[in-house]
Amino acid sequence: MTVKRVEKTAEQWQAELTPEEFEICREAGTEPPFSGAYCDTKDPGTYRCRCCDLELFDSGTKFESGSGWPSFYQAVDSANVQLKTDMSHGMTRTEVLCAGCDAHLGHVFPDGPNPTGDRFCMNSASLRLDPEDA
């Protein structure tokens, strides 16, 4: 499946997002640990990109990592996320971007649970939970 691209100017993104969402999604910021809306959420549903609404993570892959950010062991579809080397802050990490709009989502680390061993450590401000119908 091909991911539909969403391209907007910084001004267009600023008009649509809160200042915190813009800083995190468009300028690769981060929210303080344990402060995000989805850190402790256990509601079933699909986590989508706050900017372009692309499906990113299923709540069934969310786990408690103790990191202070919502964590998932895999994306809904690997084509929906892009991985990029991030050498900021004096360390080498793997940044996770939305494949639909290049929004900064967070980082992925190789210390997650089975079956993947991955920990997608995401910013709540980059996500929107689409609840499962009860």
Name the residues annotated as catalytic: 121
Cα dihedral sign for 116, 5, 50, 35? positive
DSSP 22-46: HHHHHH---PPTT-STTSS----EE
Q: Under a CB-based contact definition with an 8 Å cutoff, are residues 79 and 28 in contact?
A: no
The first and second tokens of residue 1, run together, are 């499946």
